[in-house]
Amino acid sequence: MTQPIRPPVPTQRRLWWELAIVLLLSLGASALWSVLQFVDVSTRPEPIGEQSVALNPTRSDRAWLDLAYQLTGITLDLVPVALVCWLLWRSRRPHLGALGIDAARPVKDGLSGVALVLVIGIPGLALYLLGRSLGLTVNVVPSPLDADWFTVPVLLLSALRAGLTEEVIVVGYLFARLRRLGWGEWPIIVATAALRGAYHLYQGVPAMIGNFAMGLLFGWLYARTGRLVPLIVAHTLIDVAVFAGYPWAYATFPALFGG
């Protein structure tokens, strides 16, 4: 009987190339753009605190085309997530066990994610307001919730996109590959937190520090539990609050948020 051909075990060099390709297709590229944006805003004549960045801006003044732009952007952003799942897919269940994803305890994972929102969300808002008051954070201007009938559903999809993209790639994938390359637990935690901070630098140094701290917490929890679903849930809910709740607060309390 002919023996099945098994794929070769990837060498360290191949793993490094794979890491580079995945990151440059996703959040590594975001980090590079973020650093360039920070250099841009920090070298302008006006202070950082007097500058603004749009959050989830519209892409067209025609509603149907704006919806097409938004859905296409969300879909394309999820392609690297699909690539990572393909690379780490297991033939046996749980198929995504290498990423810390399974359906063994959905209720507990969901409740853990909600608890994380309380731990991270309130300090994150306080850090943003502190950064704004010190003039160290750009004014993040959200899109109005009543722009079109599809605005809120698209914002919810965008929040899910962010939760999946960041946690699957920055935590699940990088932990799996860097462990394979012989990295220790804390070097991985610090490296993934630094990447998370880097692609938020465009908002200012406080945003980078806050996301670096969030990355340390998420990395430590993942190293301890091996569960990625609570992190995805927490990140998605936080972004739902930011994408949908922040526009309401921004319009209701413009003096507080710099509107």
Nearest in space to 240 (alpha carbons), one of 143, 150, 156, 115? 156
Relative to beta strand 52-55, strand 139-142 is: parallel
Q: What is the structure's pLDDT at 13? A: 94
pLDDT tens sequence across 190-221: 999 999 999 999 999 999 999 999 999 999 99
Query: What residue ranges of the chain have pLDDT lower than 70?
Result: 1-9, 252-259
Placement of tokens 């559903």 in the chain: 153
What's the pLDDT score for residue 198?
Answer: 97
Say how far apart CA 111 and CA 13 lie, in whole Å.
40
CA dihedral angle for residue 169, residue 208, residue 36, residue 243, rounded to 10 degrees: 70
Query: Which helix (DSSP H) or strand (DSSP E) does residue 142 occupy?
Result: strand 139-142
pLDDT, tens digit, 9 for 90 and up, residues 5-44: 555 667 899 999 999 999 999 999 999 999 999 999 999 9
Amino acid 4: pLDDT: 53
Q: Supply the pLDDT for residue 128.
A: 84
Give residue 63's pLDDT: 93
Alpha-carbon gap, residue 192 to 216, rounded angstroms: 8
Query: How many beta carbons lie within 10 A of that of residue 108, not counting itself?
Result: 12
Of all residues in the chain, the percent with pLDDT exceeding 70 is 93
Residue whose pair of structure tokens reads 């998605």 in the numeric block:
236
Question: For residues 80 and 69, what is the distance between their CA atoms, to the nearest angstrom?
Answer: 18
3-class secondary structure, 82: helix
Domain range list for the chain: 14-257
Task: Tell me what pLDDT residue 145 has.
Answer: 80
The burial class, CB within 10 Å (0-12 / 13-18 / 19+), for 10 is middle
Rounded CA separation 118/110 (Å): 13
